[in-house]
Amino acid sequence: MVRFSDIIKTKGKQDDRKKQPEPVREEEWFRFSDSHLFKSRNSDIEPPDTEPEKPKRKVSDFEITGYYKSLLKRAQETGRAVKDNKPVVPSAVLADLHGIVERDLAEPLYEYAMKQKPDDDLCVHTVNVVLTSLTIGSGLKYDIKMMLRLGLAAFYENIGTYKIPERILASSETLSDHEMKVIKEHSETAFDSLLSLGERYRWLAETARSIHERSDGSGYPDGIKGDEIPELASVIGISDMYCAMISDRPYRKRIKRTDAVNYITGEGKDKFPSKIVKTFIKEISLIPVNTVVKLNTGVIARVISVNRKHPLNPTVETVYGSSGSKPGKEQIDLANNPLLYIAEVIDDPEDL
């Protein structure tokens, strides 16, 4: 049971740390928490055979919003720091991530984030990528250390972007070659920034650098292929791609979530290792959270949580009744109602 006080405590602690940066202590904590949590986690995961659906903890909305806002705040801070050419401070982020991972909040947070209004703000995007990556990471059964690394790398994935001039990012025109080059440079900018954190964080810098690499060698900056790309980079890369597709950009409208998934499993299939893609589909599901669907009864409903065993039968919340009336928000688990099924995917929720 997670208590609210815990969160407050953690937050308070992190706040303290931030005021008096002590990188050495940070690392000790990091290492400590690492080994500690690894053990405890291990015993939890061990019997996969039975694999009962992870006992769904009752997660309070307050907990979720708290973490979400905290992450958003960290992202904004980082953005400012990068723009001002100040060193980034991973410790605070790590603290948040630790809390999320330990409490298994990645998925509810991801669901929460997906329900937010799509925003092309960089910080929102960063948070989305972090949460999506973490969700995939849990699907890949990463241990806590990997999860933290994944989250951290996802968080810093696009710090290079903050240095890109506003006008280029906001441009709805086709970018010139030079501008394209500037954008593509952001991977290396991030790499340089993160290298400044020291040799301990070299993996972070390298991962961040490879986010835009693709398995088929079509990515940048180095155009490396297949196994040369760190796995974490692929996970973050696929998340980044997905999150970018489902949000509006100055130069294009967002894409339907199901279509984005379809794209990634189809044309995008060769850009990422198939293991990652599979996990992606499994976790994000074929009908991702917040997709508005029409049931075979004619009822319009919104997907509120996916079912990994029955990707086509998620839990939905009714929006409109079959006759157009607006019933009370009723939650239906389609997997338990075999006679109900999704007849049609309508679109993203904002139209409603």
Partner 1 sequence: MTEGSLNLKKYLQMIEKRKKIVIFTTAVFLFLSAVCVLWKGWPALYSAVCSIRVEKEISYGSFFDRALPKFGDSIETRELIITGYDLIAETAKKLSLVPPSADKDNPELALTVFELRKKISVKRKKDTDILNITVTDTDPGFAQKAANMLAEAYSSYCERQHEKQLDEVIKYIEDELKTAGKKFTDSEDEFNQFSQANKLLSMEQQSGNLLLREKEVEDKIRDDSDKGRLQKLKEDLNEVHEQINSLMKKKFRYDSLKRTAESDRNMVSFLEKKKQEAMIRKAEKPEGVEVVEAAALPSVPINRSHVLVILITGVISGFILGIFIALIAGINGRSVNIPEEIGKITDIKILGIIPEADSYGTVPGITGLKGKINDPDAAARFISMVSHYAPKSLAAEKFRQLKSSIQLTEKDTQAKTIAVTSSSRGEGKSMVSVNLALNFAQAGIRTLLVGSDLRNPVFAKIFDLEDGPGLTDILLGSCPWKDAVKTVTDMVMGKIRMEDVMISPGLDSLDIILSGTLQTNSADLIHSSKFRDFIDDVKKEYEVIIFDSSPVLITADAAILGRYSDTLLLVYNAEAASKDMLKRAISQLEHVGINIKGLILNKVSPDVVSEDSLSDSLPEKPDESERMNGQKEKPIDFAAEPASFTLDITDPEPAAPVPEVKKNIFKILIPVILILLIVFLIIWKKEMLFPSKGVLSEQVTENKTIEKSGPVKTEIKEVKLKEEITEAENTEVPQPKPVVEETPDNIKKEPVNTVEAVETTEAEKFEYQEGRYPYSIYLGSFKTIQRAQKAVDIYSRKGLFSYPVKVDLKEKGIWYRIYSGSYPDKETADNHLAEIKVKDAEIKNTVYACYIGSFRSNAKLRENMELLKEKNFFPYVAADDSNNSYALFAGAFLTENGAAELSEELENAGVLNRVVKR
Residue numbers at the binding site for partner 1 (CB under 8 A): 49, 51, 258-259, 261-262, 265-266, 269, 274, 277-278, 281-282, 286, 296-297, 309-313, 337-345
Residue 75 or 281: the one with the smaller Cβ distance to partner 1 is 281
For partner 1, which is the closer residue by CB, 99 or 237?
237
* Residue 106 C-beta: closest distance to partner 1, Å: 19
CA 304 to chain centre: 17
What is the spatial distance between Cα 15 and Cα 123, in angstroms, rounded to a whole number?
A: 20
Task: Report d(CA 210, CA 213) in Å as an integer.
Answer: 5
Q: Quick check: helix, strand or coil at residue 316? A: strand
Q: Identify the bridge partners of residue 298 per DSSP, sorted by sequence position.
A: none
Helix H or strand E segment including 237:
helix 231-245
**Least Cβ distance, residue 237 to partner 1 (angstroms):** 17
User: Smaller CB distance to partner 1: residue 45 or 343?
Assistant: 343
- Name which of 135 and 313 has its Cβ closer to partner 1: 313
Q: What is the torsion angle, in degrees rounded to the nearest 10, for the CA atoms of residue 58, residue 239, residue 264 and residue 295?
A: 30
Q: What is the DSSP string of 125-164?
A: HHHHHHHHHHHHHHHTT--HHHHHHHHHHHHHTTGGGGGS
Distance of closest approach, residue 282 Cβ to partner 1, in angstroms:
5
Cβ 87 to partner 1, closest distance in Å? Answer: 42
> CB-wise, 166 or 267, nearer to partner 1?
267
Query: Which is nearer to partner 1, 170 or 343 (by Cβ)?
Result: 343
What's the min distance (Å) between Cβ of 161 and partner 1? 30
What distance in Å separates the CA atoms of residue 321 and residue 243, rounded to the nearest whole number?
Answer: 30
Q: Tell me if 30 sits within 8 A of 94, measured CB to CB.
A: yes
The count of other CB atoms within 10 Å of the CB of residue 71 is: 25
Adjacent-strand bridge partners of 344: 294
Minimum Å gap between C-beta 296 and partner 1 is 6
Q: Give me the least distance between CB of 284 and partner 1, in Å please.
A: 10
Between 202 and 308, name the residue whose CB sits nearer to partner 1.
308
